[in-house]
Structure 1
Amino acid sequence: MLINCKGKLIDLAKPKVMGILNCTPDSFYDGGKYKDETQFLKQAEQMLTDGADFIDIGAYSTKPNADFVSNEEELRRAVPVVELLIKHFPDALISIDTFRADVAKACINAGAAIVNDIAAGMLDDAMLKTIGELKVPYIMMHMRGTPQTMQTLTEYDDIVKDMLLYFSQRIDEARKNGIDDIIIDPGFGFAKTLEQNYEMMQKLGLFKITTLPILVGVSRKSMIYKLLGITPQEALNGTTVLNTIALSKGATILRVHDVKEAVQAVKIMNSL
C-alpha cells in the first residue's frame, strides 16, 4: 500500500497517524483553540515530535449542524496555515480537509500533499477532476447530505452493504478522473446513529474488500462521549480503545487530536 506524497512514497503497510489541526472557531473539540501563528506552529511541532505522519488542516467545521462557511472564508483560514507549516516544517506531509475543489487546489499549490474530502466529490462536481489533475492522494469519506443535514439521513437497508456500494461507485468515478492513490474513510459520526457507528466498527474489516487503505477518525467523537456519559474533553481513553480496535480490524490511518497516544497504540499493535 504505497501512496505518492509530493514524490515521496509512503508505505501504509504499517499504520500511520494523522494529527488534526483545526483553524475553525467552532469545531466540537478544539474550535478556536489556535488563534495565531505561534499557537499553530507550537501545536504542529508537538504533533510532529509525538510522531504524526500527517497533519490534517481543516477550515470548515463539519460537526452536525455546523455553520455554513463561504469559499472565501475557508480559503482565508486554510491557505495561510498551510503556507506557515510548510515554511517552518518543509518535510511535513500536510493534508487539507475540504470538500471544495478550489480550496483543495489552492492548498496543494501552497504545499499540502493530500486532500481529505468528507463528501467524496459529491458536494463539488469539480473535485474529482481537480484531484486527478493535481495527482495527489485522495481520502474519500462516506457521508449523506451536508454537515447541516446529515443527521437526518440515517436510514439504511444494510449500512455496511449500502456503504460498500457507495464506495464502489465513488472509487469508479475517481479512477475515471485519473486519481491513482485513494484512501477510504467510513465516516464515523457522519449520517450515522450511535448504534450504526458501533456496527460499522464491529464490521470494519469488511471494508478491506475494496483493497484500499482505510482511515478511521473517531477521536473524541459523540459515539464515545454520549455512550459513556462524559464530555469530549474526557474521551481520550475511549478514543484509544476504539483506535486499538480499529487497528485490529485493518485501519491504516488513525486521524486523531491526540497524536502521542495514537502512536503508542500503533506501536503496541505492531509488536503483537
Structure 2
Amino acid sequence: MRTVDAAGLQIGDDQPPRIMGVLNVSSESPYKPSVFNSPDEAAEYVDRELIDEGADIVDVGLESANKKFEVLSAEDELDRLDTALETIESVSGDAIFSIETRYHEVAEAALDGGFDMVNDICGFADPKLPEVCADYDVAVAKMASPPDLERPGAIEDVDDIYDALELNGLTDKTIIDPAFGGWSEDKTIEDDRETFRRLREFRGYGHPILVSINRKNFLRSVAGRETEEALPVSLAATAMAVERGAHVIRTHDVAETRDAALIGNEFSRDRLRETIDGIAVEELDITTQREAERHLDRYNAADAAADDSVIRTFELTGLGVDSREQLLNTVGETPVTAVSGASDNALVLIGTPSGFKSLRRRITGDSSRLAATVERISERCC
C-alpha cells in the first residue's frame, strides 16, 4: 500500500486516519450548517468547527451533487471559486485544502490560487483532470463514477464500482473513493451495504481509500434514524471503515468522527510491514478470496493463486458415525485438515478455498446430507 503525500500530509497505512471536514459555498447543499456565502464567516467556521476540532483536510464544495439540481458548468464553478479562494486566505488554522470539482479548468485555477489537492466526484470523467493533478504533483481523491460529467457516483454493483475506478487510470497520488450514497435513482441501500461489507477489496488497488459515509441512508436505515439522529450510526461505521482499511473519512461531524476513527485504527489487524535489509515486506490485509483476487489483479495472477491465499475454518456437529468416517477418510486425500474432538459427532475442518473445492469433488456415496454440507461450505469459502 503506497503512502500519498498531500502537501506534506502523509496518507496511508502507517499514518493516523485523516479527517476531511466539509465546507460548502453552494446554497444548494443540503447540510446548511456548512454552507456560507461570506468568506469571513466561512473562514471562522473552518477554524472553529473543522480545524480546531481535528480536521486534517478541508474539502470545499462549489456546488451540490444532489441529482435534483442541474449540474453547474465549469464557468459556473469558476464564478464561485473566488469565494473559496478568499476563504482559505482568511483561515488562520493549519490544514490541507481540497477543492471538490469535476472540471480540470476549475482544478487548475484552484491549485493556482492556493488549494493543495483535488476531490473529483466524477472519477476522471474529464480526462484532463488527472493530467492537471499529475502536472501539479498534488493528491487527488477519485470517486468511482461513469464516464459522464453529469452523473457522479451513478454506479451500483460493487464489481462495477471497482472497474469504474480504472477510468482514465490513477495518478501516483490518487486516493480512491467507492462512492457511498444515493448518487443515482437505481442505487439502493443494499448496494451501499454490500460495498461497505466488501470495503477491504478496494485495497487491492494499492492506493489509500477515502470514504464519505457521514449520516448516509444505508446506515440510518439500520437503526431507523433520521439525519439529525444519525451521528451514532455514522461513528460506529467510521470505526469499522478504518478497521477495514479506510484512510480518509469525509465528515460534517469532525470531533466525533476523529475519535471513532482513532478507535478503529487502534484495533485494526496487526500486520507485518517492515523493510528488512532493503527488502520491503507487507502482509496484505486479506480475509476473503475476493480480496486476494483484487490484490493479485495487479500481478495478472490466475484465480488459482487466490484459491490458496486464505484459510477458512468450519466446525461440524451432528454428524452420524458413517458420515464422520467417510469425511475423515476423504479429507486425507485433500489439502484440508480435519480435527476431531472428544465428541464422536463433531469435526473441525481447516483449509483453503481450493482445498474445500477438492473435498467437494471427492465426497460421494449414500450420504447426501454430507454432500450437501460440503457443497455449502465450498460455496461459502469461495
Is the shorter-chain TM-score for this pair beyond 0.5, marking a shared fold?
yes
Partner of 1:114: 117
Alignment of 1:141-220 (within 5 A): 141-144=143-146, 159-167=157-165, 169-170=166-167, 173-175=168-170, 179-189=171-181, 190-191=183-184, 192-220=187-215
Which of 70, 73, 76 is the equivalent residue of 2:76?
Answer: 73
Partner of 2:98: 95
Look up the equivalent residue of 1:233 and give its one-letter code.
E
Tell me, yes or no, if the aligned pair for 2:119 and 2:142 is still in contact at 8 Å. yes
Partner of 1:239: 234
Tell me, yes or no, if the aligned pair for 2:219 and 2:233 is still in contact at 8 Å. yes
Cα RMSD, aligned residues only: 2.4
- How far 1:210 moved relative to its partner? 0.9
Deviations along 1:122-147, one digit per CA (max 9) or x if unpaired, are 1x232122222121111111123668
Q: Distance in 2 between matches of 1:44 and 1:198?
A: 31
Look up the equivalent residue of 1:195 and give its one-letter code.
E
SS of the equivalent of 2:58 reads strand
Quickly say closer, same or farther: Cα 1:225–1:66, change in 2 above 3 A.
farther
Q: Distance in 1 between matches of 2:148 and 2:231?
A: 27
Q: Distance in 1 between matches of 2:152 and 2:86?
A: 32
Q: TM-score, normalised by structure 2?
A: 0.62
Deviations along 1:103-160, one digit per CA (max 9) or x if unpaired, are 11111111111111011211x2321222221211111111236686568x556xxx22
Tell me, yes or no, if the aligned pair for 2:23 and 2:61 is still in contact at 8 Å. yes
Structure with bigger gyration radius: 2
Tell me, yes or no, if the aligned pair for 2:25 and 2:36 is still in contact at 8 Å. yes
Tell me, yes or no, if the aligned pair for 2:40 and 2:87 is still in contact at 8 Å. no
| Unaligned runs of at least 5 residues, structure 1 | none
- How far 1:48 moved relative to its partner? 0.5
Deviations along 1:227-262, one digit per CA (max 9) or x if unpaired, are 544432222122112111111111000000110011
Quickly say closer, same or farther: Cα 1:149–1:48, change in 2 above 3 A.
closer
Quickly say closer, same or farther: Cα 1:73–1:16, change in 2 above 3 A.
same
Deviations along 1:165-209, one digit per CA (max 9) or x if unpaired, are 222x23xx345xxx3211000000134311100000011011111
Tell me, yes or no, if the aligned pair for 1:2 and 1:11 is still in contact at 8 Å. yes
| Unaligned runs of at least 5 residues, structure 2 | 268-382
Tell me, yes or no, if the aligned pair for 2:102 and 2:149 is still in contact at 8 Å. no
Tell me, yes or no, if the aligned pair for 1:95 and 1:116 is still in contact at 8 Å. yes
Quickly say closer, same or farther: Cα 1:149–1:165, change in 2 above 3 A.
closer
Look up the equivalent residue of 2:84 and give its one-letter code.
V
Higher relative contact order (CA 8 A, sep 6+): 1
- How far 1:87 moved relative to its partner? 4.0
Partner of 1:131: 133
Determine what percentage of the aligned residue pairs are the same residue.
28
Deviations along 1:1-22, one digit per CA (max 9) or x if unpaired, are 432333x252433211000111
Which of 56, 59, 66 is the equivalent residue of 2:62?
Answer: 59
